[in-house]
Structure 1
Amino acid sequence: MKITHVEAIPFAIPYAKPLKFASGEVHVAEHVLVRVHTDDGVVGVAEAPPRPFTYGETQVGVIAVIEKIFTPAVIGLALTEREQIQARLNRTVGNPVAKSSLDMAIWDAMGKTLGFQVTELLGGYTDRMRVSHMLGFDEPAAMVAEAERMRDTYGITTFKVKVGRRPYSLDTAVVRALREGLGDGVEMYVDGNRGWSASESARAMKEMTDLGLTFAEELCPADDVLGRRWLVQQIDVPFIADESVPTPAAVTREVLGGSATAVSIKTARTGFTQSRRVHHLAEGLGLEVVMGNQIDGQLGSMCTVAFGAAFELTSRRAGELSNFLDMSDDLLTEPIEIRDGELTIRPGAGIGVEIDPDKLRRYRTD
């Protein structure tokens, strides 16, 4: 069960429909496939989706830190030595996506070695999650049409709406159009990706009071400390901290400082080991939790559902698990499917997925 080799393989798959939001837009999934090899011949896999406009990581940077710093630090360690692995990774500041992908690949390898699903190793609460679909910037009619297609085709009835452009003339109008077009049978929340100011956020949320929103997420920057605290006191729905809480310590700071009342857990950002710590912290503090999406491919989405299904708290809400539908292709031998608004974990050990070697050869860029 000892780690013998780590691969970091860059690949690029175009999006059929680019996702646009306040802090950037994505046209091509320039991700990294991470593979952890053991002396037993087991190979664990995970996906690293760099987001330079959020965490400062790039595809080249993820590969460099894994190959030059993280791999020498973990070679020779057993898969079960997770705390030692975390301690060695944490000697390096930042690089959350690189650390998380390596961590998840190790968990996948451990599950395959022991013959258990990662969900079972983490907690085993259920085998599925309801799906929330993320709607990127577009004209109101186009966003309504996309939401209707997701509802009618996949049974999805929860939508996260990207806002953060012009709060009064455009964003609130989009959310209102969605509510009018979809009716009261769907759940909606908004995500500003820090695109509004605190005062703009307060006014926009007031204008949308009658729309029955479930959450508000990262409407204004967390480093606008006083404005963010003031905003959280103004609104009457839970305020989700997402990119402002990349570590358990950051969760503590934002929540105890009055800058958030809920958190988004992204396995692409905190892996399985750190995500478990965030989950337990949220559970102890009584926080609402949603499982977030980092515009993951199918492998990343299966990592998210593997973690989210493991605990009661994280499986309570719909997880953001559908944005792989916007990709033109993927790397898995067997594509994942959303049915009746749910995504189910795969049978088999580990994360339950296999990489198609032909597709990897086609899309890898090294």
Structure 2
Amino acid sequence: MKIVKVEAIPFSIPYRKPLKFASGEVRTADHVLVRVHTDDGPTGVAEAPPRPYTYGETQESIVAVIDKIFAPQITGLSALEREAVHERLDRTVGNPTAKAALDMALWDILGQAAGMPVSGLLGGYTKRMRVSHMVGFAPAERMVAEAERVRDTHGITTFKVKVGRRPYTDDVEACRALRDALGPQAELYIDGNRGWTASEAARALREMADLGLTFAEELCPADDVLGRRWLVAQSPIPFIADESATRAAEVTRELLGGSATAISIKTARTGFTASQRVLHQCEGLGVEVLMGNQIDGQIGTLCSVAFGAAHRSSAQRAGELSNFLDMSDDLLTEPLSITDGTLRLREGAGLGIDIDPDKLARYRQDI
């Protein structure tokens, strides 16, 4: 299974409505389809979603680094030589989503060659995951309407609420409105995308103390080292590290430094190989994990559920697997479907990604 060709295909699909949050907003899925071809048949497929406001990558930079640096370095290696592949990729700093997509494409090849689903190769714990939906910035009544629509249509009862606005009172109002509308049975947690100071976050959490929030995520910038430690030390709810913990060394720093008590795993930035290392690290430390969302399309969501469903600890919590619902279209031949608040794995070998050639021709940006 020698690697003979690597493709990085930029494509663009509009969202029906923008997702707004403290560090930016997304109106169009300007992603990159990554395909790794081998000499004896299997082709691995994954998706790289650039997030310049978080990791510095753009659609153009992902295509360039794969075409000009990564593809020449890994062509000729076997798809089985994953450690050798990562050694070569890691000679270049940064570029996490480009590296992650290549890693997941290699796992897709291995699954196809073995005649097994990738989730089975990774651990095979379950066939489905409960789904959490992210609710972006909007007036409180619109956020409630979105949550109710998603609940009534797809059976989702876990919601991640984007906060971090100034004044924070808008976010407190929205969270209170969501709790009132959805009732005590709904699970709510908040994500600040680094939008508040530690003192703002502490005051907001005090004002929401009666709402039964499950988690708080990245309320302050990672560089606010002492402020984050002070905030986490006084919080009655677990704090999730996300953008501040993008690789194993950062996970160690955040957990042992007291800046977080839980970890968000995103296959879009750590692939399957590094995500598994982070997962096992958290298991060894007795720290909860949940599957995060990089505002993935359906391809990326398939990767997330494959990993999340593979492991007992990552399957315990609802995974953030629904934001593709806001995209106007996608590249899969058979679209994903969320039913009764859960998303099932695809049957068959590999990741089960089947690209519609007509849709790819319509949305790709390089021809």
Which TM bucket (shorter chain)? Answer: over 0.9
Once the two structures are superposed, the pairs formed by residues 242-281 of structure 1 within 5 Å of their partners are 242-281=242-281
* Contact in 2 for aligned 1:167/1:200 (Cα 8 Å): no
For residue 168 of structure 1, report the CA deviation from its aligned partner: 3.7
Matches within 5 A, 1:10-29: 10-29=10-29
Query: How far apart in 1 are the matches of 2:237 and 2:169?
Result: 22
Within 5 A, what are the aligned runs for 1:211-290? 211-290=211-290
Aligned AA (2:293):
N
Task: Report the residue type matching 1:299 in the other structure.
Answer: I
Distance 1:168 1:63, change over 3 A: closer
TM-score normalised by length of structure 1: 0.99
Q: Against the structure 1 CA distance between its residues 126 and 344, is the aligned structure 2 distance closer, same or farther, given a 3 Å change threshold?
A: same
Percent identity between the two aligned chains = 71
Gaps of 5+ in 2: none
Shift of 1:86: 1.1
Alignment check: 8 A CA contact 1:268 1:294 kept? yes
Q: What is the alpha-carbon distance in structure 2 between the residues aligned to residue 95 and residue 234 of structure 1?
A: 35
Q: Deviations over 1:106-153 (max 9, x none)?
A: 111111111110000100011110000000000100000110011111
Match of 1:200 in 2: 200
Which amino acid counterpart does residue 263 of structure 1 have in structure 2?
Answer: I
Deviations 1:66-110 (A, max 9, x none): 011111111111111111111111111000000001111111111
State the AA in 1 paired with 2:338: I
Whether the 8 Å CA contact 1:308–1:315 is kept in 2: the answer is yes
Is the aligned partner of 1:327 residue 2:335?
no
1:255-314 CA-to-partner distances (Å, cap 9, x unmatched) read 001100000000000000000000000100111111000000000000000000000000
TM-fit CA distance, 1:188: 0.3
Per the alignment, residue 85 of structure 1 pairs with 85
8 Å Cα contact 2:134/2:160 also seen in 1: yes
Match of 1:256, as an amino acid? L
- Partner SS state of residue 264, structure 1: strand
Q: How far has the Cα of 1:197 moved from its partner?
A: 0.2
User: Residue by residue, what CA displacement relative to the aligned partner does 1:229-277 show, whole Å, maximum 9, x if unpaired?
Assistant: 0000111111000011111010001100110000000000000000000
Aligned residues of 2:21 and 2:136 also touching (Cα < 8 A) = yes
Give the equivalent residue in structure 2 for 1:58.
58
| Count of aligned pairs | 366
1:72 corresponding residue in structure 2: 72
SS in 2 for 1:309: helix
Q: Tell me if the contact between 2:100 and 2:267 (Cα under 8 Å) persists in the aligned partners.
A: yes
**Residue in 2 that maps onto 1:115:** 115
Q: What letter matches 1:339 in structure 2?
A: T
- Please give the alpha-carbon distance, in whole angstroms, between the structure 1 residues aligned to 2:42 and 2:125: 26
| Corresponding residue for residue 39 of structure 2 | 39
Question: Separation in 2 of the partners of 1:256 and 1:168?
Answer: 29
Matched, 1:141 2:150: no
**Contact between 1:167 and 1:201, CA under 8 Å: does it hold in 2?**
no
Partner SS state of residue 126, structure 1: coil
- For 1:175 and 1:322, the matched residues in 2 are separated by 20
How many angstroms apart in 1 are the aligned matches of 2:168 and 2:113? 54
Amino acid across the alignment from 2:74: V
Deviations 1:4-63 (A, max 9, x none): 100000000000011000000000000000000001121110000000000000000000
How much has 1:227 moved relative to structure 2?
A: 0.4
Return the TM-score normalized by structure 2.
0.99
Q: How much is the aligned-residue C-alpha RMSD, in angstroms?
A: 0.6
* Mapped partners of 2:87, 2:226: distance in 1: 34
Structure 1 residue 2 displacement after superposition: 1.1
- 2:300 — aligned with what? 300
Displacement after TM superposition at 1:167 (Å) = 4.8
Confirm or deny: 8 A CA contact 2:20 2:26 kept in the other structure: yes
Contact 2:97–2:268 under 8 Å retained in 1: yes
Partner residue of 2:163? 163
Q: Describe the superposition over 1:328-352 as per-residue Cα deviations: whole angstroms up to 9, x where unpaired.
A: 0000000010000000100011111
- Partner of residue 362, structure 1: 362
Q: Secondary structure at the match of 2:310?
A: coil
Whole-angstrom distance in 1 between the partners of 2:342 and 2:240: 22
Q: Secondary structure at the residue paired with 1:19?
A: strand
| Residue matched to 1:8 | 8
- Displacement after TM superposition at 1:166 (Å): 2.3
| Corresponding residue for residue 184 of structure 1 | 184
Q: Which residue of 1 aligns with 2:126?
A: 126
Which 4+ residue blocks in structure 1 deviate beyond 3 angstroms?
A: none
Q: Which amino acid aligns with 1:211?
A: L
Q: Are 2:297 and 1:311 aligned?
A: no
Whether the 8 Å contact between 1:167 and 1:204 is mirrored in structure 2 is no
Displacement of 1:327 in angstroms is: 0.1
> Are 1:291 and 2:291 an aligned pair?
yes
1:150 maps to amino acid: V
Matching residue's letter, 1:290:
L
Give 1:358 deviation, angstroms: 0.3
